[in-house]
């Protein structure tokens, strides 16, 4: 569990103000929440991060099975909104939920990629290392 939100301000400025974005979260590849926009609470952001990691893992397995050459972005189109997942830095993912199915996915994706390119080094999250007990250290 992460209680800090050190890059929340950056997510709010870069994505939270984009029309069509409900909320965004930054997380490690294994689903540990790092930062979130102000549009989502801590508990919901932690759940969203864990679900995002599972979707990303499925996309990576799909890529491996089909010889896709690497996963760039995952898009989940639902009846009421769209989910977007992209790599944001070393061992880091950025996930956005739109406000509805008609949100401008191209515009939102552009903002996501610009944020990842501009500050990817700041968004890097070190991978968790196993502890001596065999459980992941946090």
Return the domain boundaries, the chain. 7-124
Summarised one tens digit per residue, pLDDT across range 30-79 is: 999 999 999 999 999 999 999 999 999 999 999 999 999 988 899 999 99
Phi, psi for residue 48 in degrees, rounded to 5: -60, -40
* Average pLDDT across the chain, whole number: 88
pTM: 0.84
Count of CB atoms situated within 10 Å of the CB of 136: 12
Summarised one tens digit per residue, pLDDT across range 110-125 is: 999 999 887 766 666 6
**Banded pLDDT at 1 (limits 50, 70, 90):** very low
Say what percent of the chain tops pLDDT 90. Answer: 70
**Banded pLDDT at 106 (limits 50, 70, 90):** very high
Q: Whose CA is closest to 23, among 35, 14, 36, 33?
A: 36
Summarised one tens digit per residue, pLDDT across range 6-31 is: 889 999 999 999 999 999 999 998 99
CATH classification number, 7-124, choose in 3.30.1380.10, 3.40.50.720, 3.40.50.2300, 3.30.450.30: 3.30.450.30
Question: What residue spans of 73-136 are helical by DSSP H?
Answer: 105-119
């Amino acid at each position: 569990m992460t209680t800090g939100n050190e890059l929340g301000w950056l997510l709010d400025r870069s994505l939270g103000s984009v029309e069509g974005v409900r909320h965004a979260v930054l997380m490690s590849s294994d689903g540990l929440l790092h930062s979130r926009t102000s549009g989502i609470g801590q508990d919901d952001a932690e759940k969203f991060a864990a679900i995002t990691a599972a979707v990303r893992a499925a996309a990576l397995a799909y890529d491996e099975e089909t010889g896709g050459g690497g996963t760039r972005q995952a898009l989940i189109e639902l009846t009421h909104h769209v989910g977007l997942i992209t790599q944001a830095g070393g061992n880091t993912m950025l996930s956005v939920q739109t406000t509805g199915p008609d949100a401008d996915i191209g515009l939102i994706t552009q903002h996501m990629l610009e944020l990842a390119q501009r500050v990817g080094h700041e968004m890097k999250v070190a991978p968790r290392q196993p502890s001596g007990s065999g459980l992941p250290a946090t």
